[in-house]
Structure 1
């Protein structure tokens, strides 16, 4: 279904990774010894420089070089240790947006904010992000002028490589941003440091912040103009977005407000020609690299069910929330993982449900009709049932066996060629599914309780149906087994830019106006409500509103922990949600939990590193 960097993780990339260093001596790289080349042999091909860059991008998407069960890092299951999944787990599970039912060692405490320096999931992301930094460092070592001279690289290719180097530095800045946000004072090493025998120093959060900002400013003019690079590679707008986010969080990271600077780079994106996609759901479908949502995407992590398989990324985000009465086939997958749900506190951000629809059952189980050998047969895709059998006229006079009828399980509506028709007279309602005026509230309640009594019980807590492995045409993704998902993860998108603008204005930044801020927020709400009924005015534009609106627009996109910290709601008792600090109804978290601990393995390996306060 997709054309991406799908052939770039090859034998030569393993050779390239042989010389990648790390800041911990137990960060292992798996290499296929039967197919080794020397680094110079690998880079003897002109295509190798783009291929190696492809490995850097794919480092955000795959877990290792040899398939979904392989990992570039040790000490944890390959799926759990995949970059995006590790990032998501640390950004979402400690918040009001997500809980997980699984009892893997060290996982439930992420819901409580009660981790220690030996937590395997904290360590896995720390190692993964540093592995990504190490990979970029090695790419930069292999593309210096001296290296290119020694290989006789042509002038034309050199020009291309300079652009590749800028993209690599962006990817390193992205991982540094994640490390700064989660761990504060970090081990610091660049391409200018030795690979072997070097013990990285620790730099302060502010020093790391200043370095990342300087890197982004240095590469800004070396990156392709917005929307001119090959999807999903980064361009100037991705650099501007990362600067916007860094400056928006600068007070947390450095103690200095930089909201005006955030607005400067937010405005550059707003003037770069991006546009909201018309339907929020399109952002999370299998064809979201060409269904229109690419106009909203500023930087995406690309996934493909055949060529970038892993048990992290959007495969995790699609499978993990599915269970109970939810139909996996409606999501283009082979089954659910009965894992992730949301809390009552988060559902409350969407207000009371505005109505409901009936979920029908026929002949004991409507959901099984697709596999029934009887006369009435159905085909489901994206929750729709198309009645293709010969006995529909016996069920309801309005049903014609020569027509196709569609049952939309998100709305409960049965249509024939776009016209709503009645449910079959013999159908029985088995549940009532709430609806919200705000269409971003993609909750599933049938068989689920709103309140969570037992964290490990999947049916406690509403499920969320955000990612789907089907396209707008309802065709499933490219992996015919239904295991791996095609949907890309839009890490930066225009919806967030609108909210960054509004927040920076409310916090006193110059370079924006309250009227424009309200206008940007209302564009998001008009898409969500389908009309202007959810619009706000200037008096509604408060920090409390914006935190809630960021939740409604960006939930499960790896934003919530950072947002709650910036709005001073993550620790303390001002805002309590279920299982915060391990209490069923929530209790205050101590201030030091705003940072994760430096893993104990790093402290043993590197005597230069000091633990974060409180651990």
Structure 2
């Protein structure tokens, strides 16, 4: 099912010339594309496929034809995972210098960090794809097609707007004050202005409101029940709204917790439900979990080959030196030994290791805490992600085509936790009993019954930041969560983890590390941009 839409990637990849983003030309070259691509409704679908697939691939993977000649070769989600996880208590990287993650790991990066640069250019390449699609998807441009085709393209147009909002959200969250460009701006020789975080927030908010409130059903996203697998539904848009509003105080200094609760309620109204088996959300058959997974990034070893994204996580979490951890137990041909978890995360399960099904760590021969951060015997390996089917069979040859495990970007459990946090922080529009009910759904799945059920008085902010770690570790949320709770750069004893700030016992760092810097190459190319505190 997931393979049908994403085969468009291979058709579409050859339609775009490789683009060097490290200069003023931040767009795919349209001189050869607009007149040849946008000639059929099928081609619009192919370009939309490229927009989605650009989150998990680097270009024409098998032929080695990358999208970005200035990029170091990393895909969007590999960059995103590293920027969201490496500097937190959730990841202990093995190859600090070899994988260029020393700066990320020790919260000591600068404007020349290769991972920061790769993430920035991946985001703006993807924004450029969306802008180019939207420039060619106006009612005037699609008037040549049949009525049914025009209806389909208008839905694609809403999806492209959503994807652009998602990319801008990631740019906002990671970089805050960023260049802003849409389909309405000039395509050549244009220097995008620097928008503040508040301006970017307002833009994303207005785009999402326009998408979900569109009166003409032909111009809005499909509902969760109608939306084909791997594409963005109304549920995805509402989830992104919730994330934007939950973090509004970080971005703008204004609280939007009531708006977050409204967005969460809209997600839940789409009819999602929790998957009963937590592990099945992260295996090679997780495309079957559309009851809980709201928005996913399909990956498979035939049509959407990725050496980053979920392949990076699955293979990277298996040791390449252990004599007791077996790669075949996770459906991989060999372990990459890229990273483990720091000891503070398993400690959040203390006393419940044998009862909480989310405790998924390989501990044999491993110390929980880290004498050395780059020693593979220090820190537990995470067993949460696998390339195994529901039947326990290997889903693909990971040495040849990567994994078949999709990347669940949004899921219902996160929505429940966001709603609870917004309520505890003072948001209105729901009740304590409703919030307790959602939290206890998570507890009952984790513990197989009501033994760990919570009351209203248990659901505090300290509980929620820890519960988010227990539920969502290694899914790309931790940095954003720690910043929202004021813990990411803090030197308070309760906010430290091993090797934070480059110190074995942990140390606070400058608050500038709550925001990544615009790459130095981009500052040279666009004098409208500058970094504060770097």
Q: CA 1:297–1:11 in 2, change beyond 3 Å: closer, same or farther?
A: closer
In the alignment, structure 1 residue 135 sits paired with structure 2 residue 129: yes
Aligned residue number for residue 217 of structure 2? none
Query: What are the superposed Cα offsets for residues 264-285 of structure 1, whole Å, 9 maximum, x if unpaired?
Result: 1101112221010010000001
SS at match of 1:502: helix
Specify which of 122, 135, 138 is matched with residue 144 of structure 1: 138
Matches within 5 A, 1:2-41: 2-15=2-15, 17-18=16-17, 24-25=23-24, 38-41=33-36
1:84 corresponds in structure 2 to: 77
CA distance 1:12–1:109, change in 2 (3 Å) = closer
Alignment partner, residue 42 of structure 1 = 37
Shift of 1:313: 0.8
1:116 to 93, 110, 119: 110
Aligned to 1:61: 56
TM-score calculated relative to the size of structure 2? 0.94
CA distance change for structure 1 residues 223 and 437 in 2, over 3 Å: closer, same or farther? same
1:497-543 deviation per Cα after TM superposition (whole angstroms, max 9, x unaligned): 11011101100100111221111111111111111112111111110
- Please state whether the residue corresponding to 1:147 is helix, strand or coil: coil
For residues 28 and 130 of structure 1, the distance between their equivalents in structure 2, rounded to whole angstroms, comes to 9
Structure 1 residues 173 and 558: CA distance shift in structure 2, 3 A = same
1:553 aligns to what?
471
Over 3 Å counting, the alpha-carbon distance change for 1:470 and 1:228 in structure 2 is: same
- Residue 404 of structure 2 aligns to a residue in which SS? coil
CA RMSD of aligned residues (A): 2.1
> Counterpart in 1 of 2:500?
580
Match of residue 100 from structure 1: 93
Instruction: State the distance in 1 between where 2:514 and 2:464 align.
Output: 20
Whether the aligned pair in 1 keeps the contact of 2:19 and 2:69 (CA below 8 Å) is no
Q: Is 1:20–1:135's contact at 8 Å kept on the other side of the alignment?
A: no
Aligned residues: 522
Q: TM-score, normalised by structure 1?
A: 0.82
1:614 match: 533
User: Which has the larger helix fraction?
Assistant: 2
Deviation at 1:334, TM superposition (A): 0.6
SS at match of 1:225: coil
Distance across 1 between alignment mates of 2:333 and 2:377: 20
Q: Any conservation in 1 of the 2:299–2:310 contact (CA below 8 Å)? A: yes
Q: Which residue of 2 aligns with 1:166?
A: 158
Partner of 2:171: 179
Superposition deviation, residue 38 in structure 1: 4.5
| Residues 1:277 and 2:306 are matched in the alignment | no
1:466-519 CA-partner distances (Å, limit 9, x unpaired):
111111111221447565111111111000011011101100100111221111
Q: Which SS does the other structure have where 1:490 is aligned?
A: strand
Structure 2 counterpart of 1:318: 314
Matched, 1:490 2:408: yes
Greater mean deviation of Cα atoms: 130-139 or 1-10? 1-10
The 1-side partners of 2:223 and 2:112 are apart by 43
The verdict on how the C-alpha distance between 1:326 and 1:4 changes in structure 2, with shifts beyond 3 A counting, is farther
Q: How far does residue 576 in structure 1 lie from its aligned partner after superposition?
A: 0.2
Secondary structure of residue in 1 paired with 2:378:
coil
Shift of 1:30: 11
Give 3-state SS (helix, strand or coil) of 1:299's partner.
strand
Q: 1:202 to 1:606 in 2, by over 3 A?
A: same
Deviation, 1:106, is 3.2
For residues 473 and 2 of structure 1, the distance between their equivalents in structure 2, rounded to whole angstroms, comes to: 19
SS in structure 1 of the partner of residue 358 of structure 2: coil
CA contact (8 A) 1:322 1:328 kept: yes
- Structure 1 residue 94 displacement after superposition: 0.8
Deviations 1:572-614 (A, max 9, x none): 2120001111001100111111001111011011000011x22
- 1:308-367 deviation digits (Å, cap 9, x = unpaired): 112101100100010123111111111000111011111111114x5xxxxxxxxxxxxx
Matches within 5 A, 1:12-411: 12-15=12-15, 17-18=16-17, 24-25=23-24, 38-67=33-62, 69-78=64-73, 81-102=74-95, 103-104=97-98, 106-149=100-143, 152-220=144-212, 221=214, 222-290=220-288, 293-323=289-319, 324=322, 325-352=324-351
Q: Indicate whether 1:589 and 2:520 are aligned.
A: no
Are the structure 2 counterparts of residues 317 and 30 from structure 1 closer, same or farther at C-alpha, using a change threshold of 3 Å? farther
Q: What secondary structure is seen at the aligned counterpart in 2 of 1:515?
A: helix
Report what 1:378 is aligned to. none
Secondary structure of the structure 2 residue equivalent to 1:148: coil
Deviation at 1:185? 0.5
Contact residue 238 and residue 266 of structure 2 kept, 8 A: yes
- Offset at residue 436 of structure 1 (A): 2.9
Secondary structure of residue in 1 paired with 2:409: strand
Q: Hey, what does 1:571 align to over in structure 2?
A: 489
Q: 1:114 to 1:216 in 2, by over 3 A?
A: same
| 1:510 alignment partner in structure 2 | 428
In the other structure, the counterpart of 2:361 is 443
Contact 1:343 1:578 (8 Å CA) reproduced: yes
Structure showing the higher strand proportion among its residues: 1
CA distance in 1, matches of 2:22, 2:128: 8
Question: Residues 108 and 21 (structure 1 numbering): CA distance in 2 closer, same or farther, change over 3 Å?
Answer: closer
User: Cα–Cα, structure 1 residues 176 and 5, in superposed 2: closer, same or farther, change >3 Å?
Assistant: same
CA drift of 1:18 comes to 4.1
Q: Secondary structure at the match of 2:14?
A: helix
Offset of residue 12 of structure 1 = 4.5
Distance 1:24 1:511 in 2: 47
CA distance in 2, matches of 1:582, 1:21: 34
SS in 2 for 1:10: helix
Which residue does 1:467 correspond to in 2? 385
Secondary structure of 1:351's counterpart equals: coil
| Distance in 2 (alpha carbons) for counterparts of 1:531 and 1:482 | 41
